[in-house]
Chain A
Amino acid sequence: MNTLKLYLRSMGILLKCQMQYPLSFMLQTLAQLIMEGGEMLAVILLVDRFDHLNQWNAGDLYFFFGLMSVTFYLTECFGRGITGNFPYMVRTGQLDLLLTHPRGILTQVMCSAVDPRRISCIAVGTVSLVLGSRMAEVRWSPQNILLFAESVFCGFWLVLGLFLIEAVLCIHSVKSVEIANALTYGGRSACQYPVDVFPRPLRMLFTVIAPFALVMHVPASVILGKPVFGWPAWAAWISPLSGFAVFGFMVFLFSRSMRFYRSAGS
């Protein structure tokens, strides 16, 4: 529990830091709003032109988009230390300082940054979710609410785990870290649509390697009342746990890699 307290206190201090520059914060939050608004606009325009995507109609598509956007940007907001700052910390040797503290590295990296600007992206996602669940006439029973929460929560760890790939590459001083973006940002772009619209190789990729489908699409489709893959409803309670599996595996790789860490500078 002490770790959680440390994280919360760090968040407090970081927010205090950010609020020192209110204008900059507001402008950047606005920019984020335009970005995510643009992404949502694209979905709306596609729905306007094509009506539906396979078995999914407008409401379903907004729901999937909202789920992805809320989950992804919650991670970017609270896991900023891993999703954004880690390469910088390695390059500048800031990581050395963390290593001299008696706490886990990942804990400290998580505590080192927060990105409250993402609040606007999360807001767009929420609007899309509300719109989608209205149009698809989702019944928000306690069960559905719990399933939804599980999906978002596990999604958080999944996305964090995928961003750890970049961190591991960084430790081994690999230059072309953009490869890792294919799974993170690529995964977000692809899996804001339900996975069954993609051909088999992509579907496998997003089910087995970066299991966005298991974490988000299976429970979401159950909530929408149209289960994908023809799986039974109880499967939706288990499949999101794969997010933890990915995160756990990446944490293992990360801690193995830290042994090879060679600090920067003289």
Chain B
Amino acid sequence: MKAYLSVFRMRFRLETHYRGAALGGIACQVFFGLILVALYRALYAGKPQSMPLSHVTTYVWLQQAFFRMLLASDADLMDKIRSGGIAYDLCRPLHLYGFYYVRIMAQKLMGSLLRAGPMLLFAALLPEGWGIALPASVPALILSLAALTLGLCCICAMENLTMAFTMRTLDQRGIQAMMNLLMMILSGNVLPLTLYPDSWQRIITLLPYAQMLDAPIRLYTGETAVPQAPAILLLQAGWTLLLVGAGCLFWQRNQRRLIIQGG
């Protein structure tokens, strides 16, 4: 337990150390947010939709604020897998899956917390129709925070599984790039999932990618009403458990294979 905590602490120190780079990242993300909001405003001006514009702008800002959560960014770990340095980790007295899970989570949590704060503040200060709207209600806010937490767990499980999977493949960079792209498209980063055709949405929202940011954002805007929340949270928890289970199994196999092959 102590080892896991120190992973978090180390990551936090690292993130604060690179705050110069973080500021650049925030500025860039804000710029992207502004472009997207401007675009959707122009589109709405031509043909208003049943879903209010403020939902879309809120969606955009929340996506931008938590962008770091989606991004598979543990380059260290990828390098380790590629170079075979991962064999060292096998010698450590740790549960391999758990150790990487915490590592990924620390990175995503600390990275996005530091960035989300200033960005959401900026978005809140923007004029009406440009920035982020208040949550639909207090219960909606609480539920969306719970969903965000579950979403984070789900994302980490997903990335860990990808990592385990890429260890098996011949070309890790190719696979990794493709997984990342699927994530960007199906999680609503390229285009809010709420703007996909309604018939597509019925399927896409069931996929694990939608559980990460889309589900919490919909709860926040009130797109998903409070009575439907338990079903959403259950779906998120289900995917998380499934992905964690698959990941554990995969790592166990990898570990056995590594030991047999001698790295």
Please tell me whether chains A and B touch each other in their complex, using a CB distance cut-off of 8 A. yes
- Residues of chain A within 8 A (CB-CB) of B47 are 49-52
Residue B226 lies at the interface, judged by CB distance under 8 Å to chain A: no
Task: From known contacts A54-B42, A190-B35, infer whether A182 and B27 are also in contact, taking CB-CB under 8 Å.
Answer: yes
Tell me the number of A-to-B contacts counted with CB atoms below 8 Å.
113
Interface centre among B21, B35, B170, B190, by most chain A C-beta atoms within 10 angstroms, is: B35
Interface residue SS majority, chain B: helix
* One of B43, B44, B174 near A24 (C-beta < 8 A): B174
Question: Which parts of B110-129 form the interface with A (CB within 8 Å)?
Answer: none
Chain A 170-186 interface mask (CB, 8 Å, partner B; 1/0): 00000111110110001
Q: Is the CB of A54 within 8 A of B174?
A: no
Residue B258 lies at the interface, judged by CB distance under 8 Å to chain A: no
Closest to A48 in B: B197
* One of B27, B36, B171, B173 near A178 (C-beta < 8 A): B27
Q: How far is the CA of A177 from the CA of B12 in the complex (A)?
A: 22
Residue B229 lies at the interface, judged by CB distance under 8 Å to chain A: no
Q: How far is the CA of A175 from the CA of B171 in the complex (A)?
A: 30
Task: From known contacts A45-B196, A49-B49, A198-B42, infer whether A38 and B177 are also in contact, taking CB-CB under 8 Å.
Answer: no
Residue A28 lies at the interface, judged by CB distance under 8 Å to chain B: yes
Task: From known contacts A50-B43, A53-B43, A197-B38, infer whether A178 and B25 are also in contact, taking CB-CB under 8 Å.
Answer: yes
Closest to A205 in B: B31
Interface centre among A32, A41, A46, A49, by most chain B C-beta atoms within 10 angstroms, is: A49
- Residues of chain B within 8 A (CB-CB) of A15 are none
Q: Is the CB of B39 within 8 A of A197?
A: yes
Question: Which parts of A42-98 form the interface with B (CB within 8 Å)?
Answer: 42, 45-46, 48-54
- Residues of chain A within 8 A (CB-CB) of B23 are 176
Q: Is the CB of B171 within 8 A of A51?
A: no
Task: From known contacts A27-B171, A189-B32, A198-B38, infer whether A38 and B46 are also in contact, taking CB-CB under 8 Å.
Answer: no
Residue B175 lies at the interface, judged by CB distance under 8 Å to chain A: yes
Residue A23 lies at the interface, judged by CB distance under 8 Å to chain B: yes
Nearest CB of chain A from residue B127's CB, rounded to whole Å: 11
Residue A31 lies at the interface, judged by CB distance under 8 Å to chain B: yes
Task: From known contacts A176-B23, A176-B25, A202-B34, infer whether A197 and B42 are also in contact, taking CB-CB under 8 Å.
Answer: yes
- Residues of chain A within 8 A (CB-CB) of B195 are 45-46, 49
Q: How far is the CA of A233 from the CA of B170 in the complex (A)?
A: 54
Residue B184 lies at the interface, judged by CB distance under 8 Å to chain A: yes
* One of B20, B24, B190 near A39 (C-beta < 8 A): B190
Closest to B170 in A: A23
Q: Is the CB of A30 within 8 A of B32?
A: no
Residue A34 lies at the interface, judged by CB distance under 8 Å to chain B: yes
Task: From known contacts A46-B43, A52-B46, A52-B47, infer whether A34 and B190 are also in contact, taking CB-CB under 8 Å.
Answer: no
Residue B134 lies at the interface, judged by CB distance under 8 Å to chain A: no
Q: Is the CB of B191 within 8 A of A186?
A: no
Q: How far is the CA of A50 from the CA of B46 in the complex (A)?
A: 7
- Residues of chain A within 8 A (CB-CB) of B31 are 182, 186
Task: From known contacts A189-B35, A198-B42, infer whether A38 and B190 are also in contact, taking CB-CB under 8 Å.
Answer: yes
Residue B206 lies at the interface, judged by CB distance under 8 Å to chain A: no
Residue B182 lies at the interface, judged by CB distance under 8 Å to chain A: yes
Residue A247 lies at the interface, judged by CB distance under 8 Å to chain B: no
Task: From known contacts A34-B181, A45-B196, infer whether A178 and B46 are also in contact, taking CB-CB under 8 Å.
Answer: no
Interface centre among B170, B173, B175, B178, by most chain A C-beta atoms within 10 angstroms, is: B178
- Residues of chain B within 8 A (CB-CB) of A142 are none
Q: Is the CB of B177 within 8 A of A31?
A: yes
- Residues of chain B within 8 A (CB-CB) of A49 are 47, 49, 195, 197
Q: How far is the CA of A179 from the CA of B43 in the complex (A)?
A: 27
Nearest CB of chain B from residue A58's CB, rounded to whole Å: 12
- Residues of chain A within 8 A (CB-CB) of B88 are none
Closest to A176 in B: B24
Q: How far is the CA of A39 from the CA of B189 in the complex (A)?
A: 11
Interface contacts beyond A28-B177, A50-B43, A186-B31: sample of 14 additional A-B pairs, CB < 8 Å, sorted by A: A24-B174, A27-B177, A27-B178, A30-B174, A34-B182, A49-B49, A50-B47, A175-B24, A176-B21, A178-B21, A178-B25, A189-B32, A190-B39, A199-B38
A selection of 17 A-B contacts at a CB cut-off of 8 Å is A23-B174, A24-B170, A27-B174, A31-B174, A39-B190, A42-B190, A45-B195, A175-B20, A176-B20, A177-B24, A178-B21, A178-B24, A178-B25, A178-B28, A179-B28, A181-B28, A202-B35
A-B pairs, 3 with minimum CB distance: A176-B24, A27-B174, A31-B177
